[in-house]
Every structure is written in structure tokens, then in C-alpha cells.
A = this chain, B = another copy of it.
Amino acid sequence: MPSPVPAHPSLRVAVLGCGVVGTEVVRLLTTQAADLASRVGAPLELVGVAVRDVETERDAVVDRALLTADAEALVERADVVVEVMGGIEPARSLLLRAIAGGASVVTANKALLAQDGPTLYAAADEAGVDVYFEAAVAGAIPIVRPVRESLAGDRVTRVLGIVNGTTNYVLDKMASEGLDLDQAVKEAQALGYAEADPTADVEGYDAAAKAAILASLAFHTRVSIEDVSREGITSLTADDVLWAQRTGYVLKLLAIAERGTADGVEGVQVRVHPALVPVSHPLANVRGAYNAVFVEAEAAGELMFYGRGAGGEPTASAVLGDVVSVARHRVLGGKGPIESRYAELPVLPAAAARTRYQVRLEVADRPGVLAQVSTVLASHDVSIEAVRQTPVTETPDADYARLVITTHAAPEHALRSTVEAITGLDVVRRVVSVLRVEGA
């Protein structure tokens, strides 16, 4: 494979962080050096890898002579800075220092971008350098570039994403093996899919950061993680998962960003919560630790992007794609897209979201119950799409039945007051669960 020696001098690349992703970034920079040079038009020279402790044992691909604990000095002598250390500080200060020094930056840091991205974007715009972050959302899946570039001539109306592999693995295990949440989380931990403290994943914080980034791009509006209404998977039971299957759905943790209106004001609504997805929907088949993002746009229609959402190699692939892009700008001139926030849409409260719901009840096993419950829904303007009533057979002499109601789209406040009223009915033994239905 002939690779003509490029005429442009080497570009100096610094890597901040040498965990699972950093190691794979170093590996690709090393093993693919000839290909990368041909694609960029200049060799990429790895000038250093910043780590907390240079003495820690590391993969043999990482040349120990390149390790440094002085990240601040390292970013000063780089053309491209790759940040894969995570966390807010010192990542934020280091990237701002890199930008101020004229380096372009590539980061996989979703927490930083969802909290303080605009500070980085503004600094980069002023310095005339790039901030690229494909790896921050859904790992190897190209989603940032398609949303901010390919769909730049269209109007996105909705983004529905399975953007957290850990929770998708957990829900998948619950569905396929009937495990309860704790068992499934333990299995995910044993396989390295979940951290020892799984809070960021199971409580939806990780998905919320990605939802904020996607919403910002899709709607040309600043959305931070504080704007995202968030509910994790911790309240879901094996029974919820089982009933989802029985009624033709799959339970998924979704990150959702959509256009909507509240009190006549057009805006965007961004939320993360578990939802029932019809088995026929493309997102329903996204299994295990895979991620997928489903995008609806006015002209393009429905699009889906699917792939590995985490892990060292897939994340490194996304990082290197960005490194090639920003490095090409160094060689050929020009610059990637800047922050697009001209639309300045207001972020609407979670209560403004209109969704379908599935409500599961235990009710008295006698005639007339459905009529009473239906009357309550009607009086709150919540209309019923489907009802399923089944006697309880597994408990002998059970004197109650199960009622599963699927509603048409209704505002959250209407649903809440409806459920409250239903709970107060004599014939209702218990409201077992209330789950949103999406993607129908």
C-alpha cells in the first residue's frame, strides 16, 4: 500500500488520560500511523500522554517515555489535544488552556459538554480552532456529525435514543432471563458493563448528559444537563418487564428530545425515562450493550443509527475520526462547524410532554369495574386506546383481576391527576405501575 510522504510537517497530538479509551487511542495512532498520515496529509506525531501516575503498569502499546504527569505543559506543545480523562476538572481547564494556545481539541467527555460545553465552544470560536466530540454520544456510532452536518438542511422534530449500554444490557437480561434488577446489575458488573457504583447509569445521569448534547445539536439551542428531566430504571421490576412483553412492548431507557408547545410557546422538551417501545419499532431490537439513536426529521423522515455505544475500541474509533477531521483543517485550512444556537428555543417543562401511557391496576373481579375506571379517565380528558382485563390465576382464591390500560397521548399532569383519582376508587386494589409508551 503506497503512502506518499506528505509534504506537510507533522501535527503534534497530545492525549489526556490513559484508561481503556486512552490506551486504544494510542494504539490506533501507533498501528495506523501510515494510513492516518495519508488521510490527513501529514503525519500525526504522538507527543505525550498525560496520566495521574506515570508509574502505573500499562498496556505495552503505550511508550513509557511519552507518559507525563504534567498535563499543563503537554497541552502547550500540541496541535491537537485528545481529552479522554473524563470528569469536569481538570479536563475543563486543560481544554481551555489547549484552545487558548491554538490547539484544536477532541473530547469524549459528555459530562463536561453537557454541563459547560458553551464555554469551550466560545473559546474555540474565538481562537479559530475546532472542538469535536463524536465520541461523547453513543461511542462509535456516528451521530454528532450526522445531526450537526448531514441534517443541517432539514428540521429535526424528535430524537429517541438508547444511549446507555449498561441499562440496555440490564433491561435485556431482565427480559430474556426473567432476572430482577439487582441480579441483572450484578451480572453487568461481573462482565464489566456496569461500574462498581452503577448510579450514573441506572439513575439516568449518563443518558441525560447525552440527551442534552443531542438536543443542543438537533434544535440549534443550548440545552444543558440541568434542563433534562430524568428518571432512571431503579423502580422497574421483573414484573414490569414481563408485562411489557405480554402486551407487545419492550422496556427501554430512552433519551428523548422533541419539539413541542406548552401554553402556546414553541420549544424543546428533553427527558430520560424508561418507556415501553412496541416490538415492531426498530429500537425494540437493539439488544445487549448496543446503542441506537432514532431521529425523525421533516424531510428525511425516520433515520436510525446503530452500533456499539461504549468500550475502548469503539470510542477510540470515534475519537480518531474526529482527530482526522480537525487535523485535516490544520493541513488544508478551514474549520468545522461552530456551535449553532441561533434558534434559542425555550426548554419546556417535563409536564409539557404529551405521551401515551400504560397503566396497570389490580381491581375487584366483578362487573362494572371497567366502566368506573373508564369514567374517571374520560372525566380527565384521557382517552383509552386499549384495555386488557385478565383474572389472576397464579394465586388460588384471588378475588381481584388485572387491568392494563393503554391511553392515547395525554399530558403528564392529566395522567397524574387521573391516576390519583383511580387510586381512590373502591374497586381499585392497587395501581401497580404507570409507564410511558414511546415510538408508536
Residues of A within 8 A of B (CB): 1-4, 24, 28, 32, 35-36, 38-39, 134, 140-142, 145-146, 149-155, 220, 266, 282, 285, 297-308, 313-314, 316-325, 328-329, 332-335, 337-338, 340, 342-345
Contact = CB atoms under 8 A, between A and B. Distances in A.
B308 A301 contact: yes
B297 A317 contact: yes
A145 B150 contact: yes
27 contacts: A1-B343, A24-B299, A32-B153, A38-B220, A38-B340, A38-B343, A39-B342, A140-B299, A140-B303, A142-B145, A146-B146, A149-B325, A152-B321, A153-B316, A153-B319, A153-B322, A154-B317, A154-B320, A282-B306, A299-B313, A300-B313, A300-B318, A301-B307, A301-B314, A328-B337, A333-B335, A334-B335
B146 A142 contact: yes
Q: Across the A-B interface, give the 4 residue pairs with the lowest CB-CB distance, nearest first.
A: A334-B334, A153-B320, A142-B150, A299-B317
Nearest to A303: B307
Contacts of A32: 153, 155
Given A151-B321, A153-B320, A342 B38 contact: yes
A322 B149 CA distance: 8
Nearest to A324: B152
A153 B337 contact: no
Contacts of A151: 142, 317, 321
Contacts of A342: 1-4, 38-39
A298 B35 CA distance: 14
A337 to B, nearest CB: 7
Nearest to A44: B153
A22 to B, nearest CB: 14
Contacts of A266: 1
Given A300-B308, A304-B305, 16 more contacts: A24-B299, A38-B342, A39-B152, A39-B153, A152-B320, A152-B321, A153-B322, A299-B314, A299-B317, A300-B314, A301-B313, A301-B314, A303-B307, A333-B333, A333-B334, A334-B334
A35 B155 CA distance: 9
A340 B140 contact: no
A190 to B, nearest CB: 21
A264 to B, nearest CB: 15
A315 to B, nearest CB: 9
B337 A335 contact: no
A189 to B, nearest CB: 22
A139 to B, nearest CB: 8
Given A4-B342, A299-B140, A301-B314, A149 B145 contact: yes
Could you say which of A36, A220, A299 has the most chain B C-beta atoms within 10 Å of its C-beta?
A299
A137 to B, nearest CB: 12
B321 A150 contact: yes
A307 B307 contact: no
Nearest to A266: B1
A328 B153 CA distance: 12
A158 to B, nearest CB: 14
A364 to B, nearest CB: 42
Contact of A140 (B300, B318, B343): B300
Contacts of A298: 313
Contacts of A1: 266, 342-345
Contact of A325 (B152, B154, B323, B333): B152
Nearest to A147: B142
B154 A321 contact: yes
Contacts of A4: 342
A193 to B, nearest CB: 15
Given A1-B345, A2-B342, A300-B308, A153 B317 contact: yes
